[in-house]
Amino acid sequence: MTFLPAKKHAFLPMPVIFLPKISDFIYHILTFYYLCIQILCFIMKIKEIVSALERFAPLPLQDGFDNAGLQIGLTDAEATGALLCLDVTEAVLDEAIALGYNLVIAHHPLLFKGYKSITGRDYVERCILKAIKNDIVVYAAHTNLDNAWGGVNFKMAEKLGLKNLRVLEPKENALLKLVTFVPVAQASEVRNALFSAGCGCIGNYDSCSYNVEGKGTFRAQEGTHPYCGTIGELHTESEVRLETILPAYRKAEVLQALLAVHPYEEPAFDFYPLQNTWQQAGAGVIGELSEPETELDFLKKVKKTFEVECLRHNKLMGREIQKVALCGGAGAFLMPLAIRQGADVFITGEIKYHEYFGHEGDILLAEIGHYESEQYTKEIFYTIIRELFPSLEVQQTKVNTNPIKYM
């Protein structure tokens, strides 16, 4: 069997079968069957793309005020293309319509409040009407992407060439410990199922657990179906006490995995809330430059990197810049934490007038604009989609949605 050459992202090559006695009818049947398989391989539904985005930036990571996730439309539709943007505007939707795309992925949610009527009286309502009329699905990944490892702030740090990155404000009350008791012979199977469900990740380590062998006792009552032991008799079983850690939002998924694989009819398990901070999720990023830079040189680099037309900063004090803290968007609330952690500079999209006072001796403040700080979010979306769905048409919008203009 040989293969015809194929173009990138086109159908897989059609096999050329050299069988001299094969009938034309059988050959055409095989050809039709093969092409059907190829077509099915390249059909993807919008919900598959949404699922991939939410694996990278789970919705439970979003802040309480937020409304990330599906905004408009039905995700069972086949995706014809994805347009990536920071903000959903009428011009962005017009661009998607012109391209023939039925999916718009934004950083900022279009919908933040409830609507009692939709009549087109403002740009949000007009966008809703236009998206529905043209069967366009609108999806947003906002603070869940801000708080995700590898998200918005990590992209900013990447653009500045920072190293030794860590989350500036790790999430609290976001972790659970699971303890369960498993027969020795099944401990490995249960443990692996829990790891597959999202347990056991600590920093850059996975498959983390603690295991202690001991003796468990139980007496099965009438009407039960014990895995081991006899109904009505006290039974002692060699068991493993298995402990592991998980993000709180994965509790239901992990419990389902545990119940599916555990051999006991009534498994014993406990979930304990932890006070540990979750170092792999949270607001802001802090890292270091490879070499120290002067304040002015560093600010010039920031201005160029983020294409800032007007960079605002506090008084230059002649300090060297090496440790850099940052947060995309409105991140001034992290300024005290950046100071406490010894950052030389704090970069964010918005700082209020009065927040500049009294910090000249503490830290260099750099305000680069909300849009400017988050503009590279589109690259995160692009990378995820291009890697997982290479045949899908995807483009970053050509529309500058920044509502702030400079003279």
Show me where the domains of the chain are located.
2-42, 46-141+377-396, 152-170+282-368, 175-276
175-276 and 152-170+282-368 share a CATH fold: no
Q: Which CATH class name applies to 152-170+282-368?
A: alpha beta
Q: How far apart are CA 184 and CA 265, in angstroms?
A: 16
User: Can you give the pLDDT at residue 3?
Assistant: 35
> If we measure between CA atoms, which residue out of 319, 323, 318 comes closest to residue 289?
323
SS3 9: coil
Q: How far apart are CA 151 and CA 283, in angstroms?
A: 10
Q: Are 282 and 168 in contact (CB under 8 A)?
A: yes
CA angle 145, 146, 147 (to 5 degrees): 90
DSSP code, position 287: E
The hierarchical CATH code for the domain 46-141+377-396 is 3.40.1390.30
User: Can you give the pLDDT at residue 43?
Assistant: 80
User: Can you give the pLDDT at residue 283?
Assistant: 98
Q: Are 91 and 73 in contact (CB under 8 A)?
A: no
Enter the pTM of the model: 0.85
Q: How far apart are CA 316 and CA 356, in angstroms?
A: 12
Q: Strands across the sheet with 269-273, in order?
A: 210-219, 234-247, 175-183, 269-273
Q: Which CATH architecture has domain 175-276?
A: 2-Layer Sandwich (3.30)
Output the tens digit of pLDDT for each of the chain's 407 residues: 333 333 334 444 445 444 445 566 665 665 565 555 544 456 899 999 999 999 999 999 999 999 999 999 999 999 999 999 999 999 999 999 999 999 999 999 999 988 999 999 999 999 999 999 999 999 999 999 999 999 999 999 999 999 999 999 999 999 999 999 999 999 999 999 999 999 999 999 999 999 999 999 999 999 999 999 999 999 999 999 999 999 999 999 999 999 999 999 999 999 999 999 999 999 999 999 999 999 999 999 999 999 999 999 999 999 999 999 999 999 999 999 999 999 999 999 999 999 999 999 999 999 999 999 999 999 999 999 999 999 999 999 999 999 999 98
Q: Going by C-beta distance under 8 Å and a sequence separation of 6 or more, which residues neighbour residue 215?
A: 236, 237, 238, 239
Q: Are 257 and 194 in contact (CB under 8 A)?
A: yes
User: Can you give the pLDDT at residue 11?
Assistant: 41
